[in-house]
Amino acid sequence: MRMLVYTYLLGGSDMSRVNQTTIQKQGYNLNIIQTEKYKTNSIVLKMKAPLSKETVSYRALLPQVLQSSTENYPTTTSLRAHLEELYGAALYVNVSKKGEYHIMTFTLEIANEKFLSDSEPLLEKGIELLSEVLLQPHLHQDAFINKEVEQEKRALKQRIQSLNDDKMKYSSIRLVEEMCGDEPYGLEVNGSVELVEQITPDNLYAYYKHAIETDEVDLYIVGDVSEKQAEAICNKYLHLTARKPEQQPYRNIPARDEVKEVKEQQDVQQGKLNIGYRTGIIYGDDKYYALQVFNGIFGGFSHSKLFMQVREKNSLAYYVASRIESHKGLLMVMSGIQSENYVKTLTIIREQMDAMQKGDFSDEIIEQTKAVIENQLLETIDHPVGLVEVLYHNVVAPKKITIDEWINEVQKVKRDEIIAVANQVQLDTIYFLTGTEVPN
């Protein structure tokens, strides 16, 4: 079944009009974004499943094992040599969470053959290789190769443990754990060292087969390509079984009746104050655009209240910002402060939220914030991988919102809508990482 989903303006100096065509194939959706903006073609495959403690570390490890070798390229060296032969193509993987979904992403960036002197079919070779990475793994007796699994397990455990060294990331993770401990979103995206330890070549392969058969799969091809040619290549190489992916509907969990306050003491020079709020608003909701403007004025940008009041005027923070989690309905504030400034900083942050709820902000800052949101969005989609991330919101939601609609809806946001959103935001959890005793 073929379906032209939408046409939108792709940002940049030429503002060239670009089509996204979504074609429903057996087992996956093929998304072709035709544009002359880039001189490379980007092939991005995303696999989505609900977050769960039982699978989180399997999903964190699996893409790393799959990209290390394939049936035809049984060593990392041979696979990387083949990528070099494809005019220095780049293959990389990652895992992320959006709302309460866990997403594995495989990305291949390859030169567009139209700009080369010879006529090597690079698009076909790229899709063939990505399909092989996904569907023809390097196996021994129906299991992954023990040496490769152990090597990637060591690397994954190091990544998990390194979070303790990056206190900014650590404090953000700890806030989510404390705030969403009974919810799937409370899981760290890589799982835990203990869970990784339990993975074997056999049970990882068993999970791989489960994911290949049940995950919601979206393939994006971005570049100056022929839609007909791209579909024909995918028909040739990417064969998946039909499926009904498991969904994880959004649950609007209200803020606690009594704010949770957690203070953790470690040997740190700089305190980390992280604050979590519940908004009850997610991507695709009518209030989502007002939430974006609210966040920009409150703490999202360098002209925001938090930046100007906490950092610039009172010199309390090395950094301070807020962000929204578009598919979970959360607002997070992150700041780095001296521990003795905890009470004063918290007081000023609360005062800025009160000011937002009372409408204490100018029309000029509303317009400035809208302009920055638009510029940020256009800057994100200026890169093909950024464009895919923006479009993938519609898969997670699921919604059908064009980039033009997104920008237009932000521009239409009114003052009273921002105030209404501010009054819907509810404080839930305060987490403070400190090196000294903290005053009450």
- Tokens 């990389």 found at: 92
Distance CA 273, CA 168 (A): 9
Please tell me the predicted confidence (pLDDT) of residue 39: 87
Amino acid at 203: N
For 131-169, what is each residue's pLDDT tens digit? Answer: 999 999 999 999 999 999 999 999 999 999 999 999 999
User: How much is the mean pLDDT over the chain?
Assistant: 93
| Direct distance between the N- and C-terminal alpha carbons of the chain, in angstroms, rounded to an integer | 62
Residues 7 and 93: their CA atoms lie apart, in Å, by: 28
Average pLDDT score over residue span 328-357: 96
pLDDT of residue 440: 60
- What's the pTM value of the predicted model, to 2 decimals? 0.94
CA distance 237 to 11: 32
pLDDT in tens, 77-131: 999 999 999 999 999 999 999 999 999 999 999 999 887 777 789 999 999 999 9
In order of 68, 99, 330, the CA distances from 122 in angstroms are 21, 35, 42
Q: Regarding predicted confidence, which is higher, 276 or 249?
A: 276
Mean pLDDT in residue range 367-387: 95
Cα–Cα–Cα angle for 141, 144, 145, nearest 5°?
90
Reported confidence tier of residue 424, pLDDT bands at 50, 70, 90 = very high
- 9 or 414: which leads in pLDDT: 414
- pLDDT (mean) for 376-400: 94
Examine the pLDDT at 11 and tell me if it is beyond 60: no
Mean local confidence (pLDDT), 214-226: 97
What phi and psi, each to the nearest 5 degrees, are found at residue 22?
Answer: -110, 125
